[in-house]
Amino acid sequence: SYELTQPPSVSVSPGQTARITCSADAFPRQYVYWYQQKAGQAPVLVIYQDTGRPSGIPERFSGSSSGTTVTLTINGVLAEDEADYYCQSADNSGSWVFGGGTKLTV
């Protein structure tokens, strides 16, 4: 089955740049979507189709891709960005999968 691999944790100081990777185990791959989830809340979409930023999401959030690895970058990290981040994608059979999640500590 299709798998997405994320680092369990990333730690940065306020104002620094956080990079969270999501590696797919197959190529070519489908688009990747990124979600932010704060404690006790439903997830929020922060990046769609690898690089798109939904309206209302701050410009400090961006996405990039290279081969089978997709990266969520948060520039000028704020304390409020501390959360769990999940990537999601689909395989060619119609099924979807989430990465294991990355805890961002600021």
Partner 1 sequence: QVQLVESGGGVVQPGRSLRLSCAASGFTFSVFGMQWVRQAPGKGLEWVAVIWYDGSKKYYGDSVKGRFTISRDENTLYLQMNSLRAEDTAVYYCARVVHCNDGGCFVHGLDVWGQGTTVTVSS
Q: Which residues of the chain form contacts with partner 1 (CB under 8 A)?
A: 1, 31, 33, 35, 37, 42-45, 47-49, 54, 84, 86, 88, 90, 93-101
- State which residue, 13 or 55, has the beta carbon closest to partner 1: 55
Which of 1, 13 has the CB closer to partner 1? 1
Shortest Å distance, C-beta 14 to partner 1: 26
The answer to whether the bond into 58 is cis (omega within 30° of 0) is: no
What distance in Å separates the CA atoms of residue 95 and residue 15, rounded to the nearest whole number?
Answer: 38
Task: Please say which residue, 12 or 45, places its beta carbon nearer to partner 1.
Answer: 45
Please, what is the minimum distance in Å from the beta carbon of residue 19 to partner 1? 19
DSSP string of 64-103?
Answer: EEETTEEEEEESS--GGG-EEEEEEEE-TTS-EEE---EE
Q: Enter the tokens of residue 101.
A: 């999640």
d(CA 61, CA 104): 13
Rounded least distance, CB 101 to partner 1, Å:
4
